[in-house]
Structure 1
Amino acid sequence: MMWYDGGWGWGGWFAMAVFMVLFWALIIAGVIALVRYLAGPRHHQDSGPHPLNGEPRWGSRRAEDVLAERFARGEIDDDEYVRRLALLREHR
């Protein structure tokens, strides 16, 4: 008995494999794009306090926190930290 593949040969199998990979890549990319679209903008930062509890919102940082981090990293000395902290609290 002779096996007959309809004339496709190895090229047909290779083409089907390539198109299958492309098909699933498009499906996965479409799902990721849809999820990102429905999730909305992530990097929206509001500098004002939260309306319910008055604390800073996610993504916003208080100036005192940034100043404390700079002091902890050693970017500023203790005199400059105290001076800038007093200035921040004075203008609050």
Structure 2
Amino acid sequence: MKLNALILPLLASLPASMAQADGPGSWTGHMWGSGYGFMGGFMMLAFWGALIALVVFLVFRLRDNGTRPPDSDAQEALRRRFANGEIDEEEFRRRKATLDE
């Protein structure tokens, strides 16, 4: 919701910003996109920000894919059953030894 409130005014100002553009070969814009004014600089920042965010997302995604060893879920369920009193200590130890093999 807040993102739409920011993007819509910026997109609405794009035609006005482009209308103020100087002709080709003009050096008045300098690093703000040769006459595109605020929107040229904003688009540059948005591009680099999106690229950096994509790289960070991919690094975290590839580093931790969320998979667990297959027996960790079984051991967790066994611990939960023992904590709830569904099985006694002897049964817990016997099943845990089986899972550890």
TM-score by length of 2: 0.43
Q: Which has the higher helix share?
A: 2
